[in-house]
Amino acid sequence: MKYLIACLGNIGAEYVNTRHNIGFDVADKLIHELKGETSIEKLSIVSKVKFKGRTLVIIKPTTYMNLSGKAISYWLEKEKIPLERMVVVLDDIALPTGTLRMKAKGGDAGHNGLTDIIQKLGTNAFTRLRIGIGNDFPRGRQADYVLGEWSTSEEKIMVPRVEIAIEMIKSFVSVGVNLTMTTYNNK
């Protein structure tokens, strides 16, 4: 069985260690933990790793955040992965810093990456793991905030939360979205 783990972020050195790239941070840590190798392939940086007899196709789209749907659509089709075996990992300003929420479907909540994915797939019925980055920014400064680097205090919160996000992904591929939500959401 194959699963697509689509971790959102922006490519380029200027985006490393920024709030918007938490999806890429999760991908990097998961790939490292499962001893995967990465390659640059069509529309994504890709790693194929094994976990409990399953193949995880972990992608970091190279299309930039707001065009993530193109890469996700391509890799779902290329690897013949059904939508119910995909999870999208992304940042969310509507959640307090470090909050983790898995949802089986939903709207875009104003997230341009999710908007593009929903448009390209023609559905919002896919699992997403939302990672709260908080919203401590002045009115009109959202872009600066999400593209800004973590503060030292935020990093202390986020490092262990990335580990839990990885546990949630492993749970999703092992027992499914419903049991994972029951186990981890609101914890």
Residues with Cβ within 8 Å of residue 101, at least 6 apart in sequence: 92, 95, 129, 130, 132, 185
Instruction: Check 19, 20, 85, 111 and give the catalytic one.
Output: 20
**150 Cβ contact list (under 8 Å, min separation 6):** 17, 18, 19, 158
Beta-bridge mates of residue 54: 51
**Other C-beta atoms lying within 10 Å of the C-beta of residue 73:** 17
Q: Active-site residue 20, yes or no?
A: yes
Give the residue numbers annotated as catalytic, written as ranges: 20
